[in-house]
Amino acid sequence: MTTEEQVARYYTHGSLERTILDALAASGKDIDNLAASDLSLIDEFHLGWRAATVELGKDLGLLPQMHLLDVGCGIGGPARYLAETYECRVTGVDLTEEFVEVAQALTDRCGLDDRIEYHQASALALPFDEGSFDAASLIHVGMNIADKATLFAEVHRVLKPGGRFAVYDIMRIQDAPLNYPMPWAETSETSFVETPDTYRTLLTAQGFAIEQEQSRRELAMRLSREMRDKAAVEGPPVLGLGVIIGPSAKPRMANVFEALDAGIIAPMQIIARA
């Protein structure tokens, strides 16, 4: 089994759409009349959650006429937020077929299907022509991709000259072991966490110019503490990443928070220009 097949199998739930809709209904949402904001507690599968997506959108400088490529779109949370907020077009791609199906179904329910479309594809072989997009995003995806050079080359190929590329990944800050499972991998076999320096080097080698680099560690730590404190009092939330990850969410999130608190990893945002 290839690494991509292992990654897709890891993220496949089996009945994810039904599970999400049931959780939304249990939380009091009208699943027949959803707004993108109704999904914000469940579809932002990255450290920093919606707050990090908000900052990323600002730094990308999106405008209504732009077409954004969201690489590794998951179930479409950032794509829906960015399309709705900036009135731009978004195309999402993801390796996991079920994620793509659920992303489209939820987007249809939110009435955003005229602005967003999704495709099942590998980030290492994007099914688009050169210069197809005005901007691109990669949100907590690189940890599953060993060949980041090809990843960045593909994004550069499909971007128009001057297009911005926002990378928001978990990166290694200290040379210390990570405990598994993590939210993105069961074992180290499909985990490829690299340093910011590696990202900078590889992005530059593929023709990108680095415009901005920013750690979102403090934001993620503050929000994670607030989440844990709230859960300690009220119990696990009805809407949360546990709906997507399943029963193993608790140890996975505990491991990532431990590494975050210890300063081994940090969610880092890099803005680069093609």
Q: What is the pLDDT of residue 143?
A: 97
Using DSSP's 3-state secondary structure scheme, residue 74 falls into coil
- At residue 137 the predicted structure's pLDDT band, cuts being 50, 70 and 90, is very high
pLDDT, tens digit (0-9, with 9 covering 90-100), for 145-166: 999 999 999 999 999 999 999 9
For residues 112 and 93, give the distance between their C-alpha atoms in angstroms, rounded to a whole number.
Answer: 16
Residue 179 has pLDDT above 90, yes or no: yes
- Domains of the chain plus CATH, in order, are 3-273 (3.40.50.150)
Determine contact, residues 191/169, Cβ cutoff 8 Å. Answer: no
Burial of 215 (0-12, 13-18, 19+ CB in 10 A): middle
Please list the alpha-helical segments (H only) found in 27-127: 49-60, 77-86, 97-109
Q: Are 193 and 140 in contact (CB under 8 A)?
A: no
| Six token digits for residue 116 | 């967003």
pLDDT in tens, 211-246: 999 999 999 999 888 888 887 888 777 777 778 888
Neighbours of 264 (CB within 10 A): 18
Give the pLDDT confidence score for residue 215 in this predicted structure: 96
Which letter does DSSP use for residue 61 in this model? T
Confidence band for 42, pLDDT divided at 50, 70 and 90: confident
